[in-house]
Amino acid sequence: MSAAGLGARLQAAYGFSARPSWSRELSRAVEEVCRRHGLDAGTLHGRLDAEPHLLDELAGLVTVGETYFYRHPSDIQHAVSIITALLAGRSAEEPCVVWSAGCASGEEPYTLAMELDRRLGAAAPARVRILATDVNSDALAKARAGIYSAWSFRGVGTELRERYFLPLQPNAWQVAPRLLERIAWHRSGLAQHAATMASGSVDVIFFRNVAIYLEADALAQLYRQFRRVMRPGGTLYVASADPFPPRELFTRVAAPGVAAFRPADDDARLPVAPPPSGPVPGAPPQRHDVKVPPPAPVTRVAATPAPDAPPPGGGVALALAEARRLADRGELAEALALVSRAALTDPLSADVALLCGQLHVATGELTEATSALRRAVYLAPGGMLHRYWYASALAAAGDRARARQMLLDVERQLAARGAAERVEDQQTTVEELADSARFLRESLS
């Protein structure tokens, strides 16, 4: 079966849309599934009908699972305020239900659990149910285990990690037992899972950075399902760069920096509980294309090269993509070694210097991090992502005054740009980066 034929099967089963990197991702997925099961490509294709779990594995491997704790913190804080307001009007026996739709390796639902614990304390487990679903079985296995490397903490600092995680080894932490028990995990496609849910059964849905990978018809059907399962007063969260839900189904909530929607025919006017006083316990941000202290954004998806074209930059770009995959698996030393070799090939690449600095931040090598990120800013003086990350490294290294000043400068420059415009990584939006910069700056006050 050709890559086009396999892609068509995945599109029909899961509603995926073809992406610029579609052919390469399919080839990698086929190679990995063949390796796991001791098959060749021809045998794999011949067994897809009789063994549909093989198609499920392929689907999981071509989905993008870029995530980290406290990604886009304004969404999380707004949602917890909505949940708090909903609970104020309910009996203790009527919990709120939150669905992380497309949870990847679990950082999003665990972040919700942490923020709910901060706001509700011991009452949170009984009063809020968190459901998390994804089609990627490998990602869900990691989520259930709750073990993460420093790469997943690029959105938080040491205080939060010490409060909610147990150290296992130098670069591994496990979610505290009280949070591990909070989340119900299910491996399922989103449309398939929504079809099993009762109407009016969910209060909050997180559907961020998933819609951009779905075909228009599949997405429209999924938004209809979200509307069906949502309770009055409920809220749907998407990423600012995602296609928004249709107006006949959802109305955007007037909340700065948050892409939140309520049912269009919902007359509920729920108050939003005020956020807790003081910054979220956490340190400088981080995000991905990588990030470290509090949350900063960086998503990864090739932007707009022609279908199946190699990414710009040839070998260096491929090396950076592979380094990010290694980092997502917690293999930071291997990722850093790969980036270091890329730096020898292209010493004037700001992207190489950026990723090198981000990885050094994740491994706690702050002198090396600030040096690499200073170089990234020098090579790309107008790069907002580069300046944000340099500020996060300065903050982590204790230079709070310079970090705050640089973050203010980043926020001012971003304010003149459109919220949905993308920054240098072609995935992080202006709104996301501004939110992360504000979050980090406030944590340094």
What pLDDT does 267 receive?
60
pLDDT (0 to 100) of residue 299: 32
Tokens 């070998």 map to which residue? 315
Burial class for 140, CB neighbours closer than 10 Å (0-12, 13-18, 19+):
buried
Structural domain spans, the chain = 3-62, 73-263, 315-443
Closest CA to 436 of 259, 292, 285, 288: 285
pLDDT at res. 97: 97
- 3 state DSSP class of 95: coil
In this prediction, the residues of the chain whose per-residue pLDDT falls under 50 are 277-313
**Per-residue confidence (pLDDT) for residue 255, from 0 to 100:** 82
pLDDT tens across 328-362, in order?
Answer: 777 888 888 999 888 888 888 999 999 999 888 88
Give ∠ CA 251-257-259 in degrees, rounded to 5: 30
> Whole-angstrom Cα distance, residue 224 to residue 263?
11
**What pLDDT was estimated at residue 189?**
85
In this prediction, residue 405 carries a pLDDT of 92
The fold of 315-443 is 1.25.40
Structure tokens at 307: 């279908």
What does the pLDDT read at residue 228?
95
Reported CATH class of domain 73-263: alpha beta
Q: Distance (Å, rounded) from C-alpha 280 to C-alpha 440?
A: 10
Task: Please determine whether the domains at 73-263 and 315-443 fall in the same fold group of CATH.
Answer: no
Q: What is residue 375's predicted lDDT score, i.e. its pLDDT?
A: 92
Parallel/antiparallel/unpaired status of strands 128-134 and 183-187 = parallel
Residue 100: per-residue pLDDT: 97
Backbone angles phi, psi at 129, to 5 degrees: -105, 130
